[in-house]
Amino acid sequence: MPRLARLDAPGFLQHVMARGIEGREIFKDDKDRKSFLDRLGLILEETQTQCYAWALLPNHFHLLLRTGPSPLSKVMRRLMTGYAVTFNKRHKRSGHLFQNRYKSVACEEDPYLLELIRYIHLNPIRADLVKDLKQLDRYPWCGHSAILGKRKNPLIPHPPNQCSKLKKPNKLSEREKPLAEKTIEDTLLFFGNDLRETRKRYRHLVKQGVSQGRRPELQGGGLIRSAGGNKLALMGRKKDERERGDERILGSGDFVGQVMEKADELEERRIDKPVIEELLQKVSANMEIELKELLSSSRKLKVSRARAVLSYLAVRMLSYQGIEISRILNISAAGVSKCVERGRKILDKNKELGYKLIS
């Protein structure tokens, strides 16, 4: 059965997970973990995406995000592709780092926000990376310690003035807080207004979850699969049946309907234009070819090489379908397949070009 499309509806809470290919490690040491978090923090600030919880495990990661103007697909492509290039370069490897695409579950906020923050932040204990909550309080590779104020928040872009470059404050004298800082403040407001007391209450909530173990009910439903992938069939069921949910949604029947309605509005937007347009611009600039020439039917060697590189990066690194790229380049799907293979050979011989185009 074909895999279900993601529900990339803006503004909804999304629990995002990604694993290493064949279960392999995606973080070999602290330098890898720091590299990932530095990249994540900058992307979150630039795209105004909130991250309420995160945890890095040796072969996978969890994020709890709420997207802003940029779609989740763009945020995750930038994060995963950029990190994979850096990881491969550092560890002298090639090929895919992540297993297929990331998994995302749209989550209803009121009943699940705090539950998911607790669930995600307890991952290091469940994975035996730390032995108890006391160790977790200072563990640097999940967001729990930053909420408690035991460690600096690694999702705040550095240097600190990086944030002021990304957006202007309303008043010159007013310091604009990074979004990562505001997000922790928003989280603690659920527990009151006194900072010391709210952190104690937050920690108590996390402590209550230690004994709960793994919680599959927080990972989405599966009703839509029994409906053959037919959303109309799902919407036609009784509310109590719909509340069992879609594997891509965690929430009540009403919430399922809201998310699917929003996703339907965006269903025609198959191509994330800002991402592919950014890649077109980079290929054009780095390979010294006019954009209109790149998109033309020219058979010049220089143009053909650029088209091959673009096809390879779009299909193999950014997970576009060949048919999508064929429409952009005005060539057949078979032509795209040939370009992908040629592009791979070109970049194998010129790895620096690949790093420039993906970073």
* Of 94, 103, 92, the residue nearest 60 (C-alpha): 103
202-238: pLDDT as tens digits: 999 999 998 876 665 565 543 333 333 444 444 455 5
Average pLDDT, the chain: 81
Q: Report pLDDT for 86.
A: 94
Q: Report pLDDT for 291.
A: 86
Q: Where are the domains of the chain?
A: 13-219, 273-358
Percent of the chain at pLDDT > 90 equals 45
| Neighbour count for residue 232 (Cβ, 10 Å) | 8
Q: pLDDT higher for 321 or 194? A: 194
CB 242 within 8 A of CB 235: yes
> What is the DSSP annotation of 166-204?
HS--SSTTSPPPPHHHHHHHHHHGGG-S-HHHHHHHHHH
141-182: pLDDT as tens digits: 999 999 999 999 999 997 644 444 444 444 433 347 899 999
Q: Report pLDDT for 124.
A: 97
Q: Report pLDDT for 211.
A: 81
pLDDT for 244 beyond 70: no
**In Å, what is the CA distance from 61 to each residue of 25, 30, 162?**
11, 14, 25
Q: Report pLDDT for 313.
A: 87
* Of 264, 259, 239, the residue nearest 249 (C-alpha): 259
Q: pLDDT higher for 78 or 276? A: 78
Residue type, 78: R
**pTM, rounded to two decimals:** 0.67
Q: Report pLDDT for 138.
A: 97
Q: Report pLDDT for 252.
A: 66
Dihedral through CA 210, CA 243, CA 105, CA 24, nearest 10?
A: 60
Lowest mean per-residue pLDDT among 52-56, 105-109, 126-130: 105-109
Q: Which residues pair with 19 in a beta bridge?
A: 60
Instruction: Please compute the mean of the pLDDT values over residues 105-123 and round it to a whole number.
Output: 90
Q: Report pLDDT for 332.
A: 86
CATH class in words for 13-219: alpha beta
User: Residue 164's Cα: distance from chain center in Å?
Assistant: 24
Q: Residue with structure tokens 């694993």?
A: 19
User: Residue 242's Cα: distance from chain center in Å?
Assistant: 27
Instruction: Please compute the mean of the pLDDT values over residues 56-65 and round it to a whole number.
Output: 97
Phi and psi torsions of 13, nearest 5° = -70, 135
The CA distance from 171 to 245, in Å, is 46
CATH class in words for 273-358: mainly alpha
354's enclosing H/E stretch is: helix 351-358
19-37: pLDDT as tens digits: 999 999 999 999 999 999 9
The CA distance from 268 to 99, in Å, is 26
Helices (H), 210-271: 223-226, 231-235, 239-242, 253-265
pLDDT for 38 beyond 60: yes
pLDDT for 119 beyond 70: yes
69-113: pLDDT as tens digits: 788 988 998 999 999 999 999 999 988 899 877 888 888 888 889
The CA distance from 225 to 4, in Å, is 9
pLDDT for 318 beyond 80: no
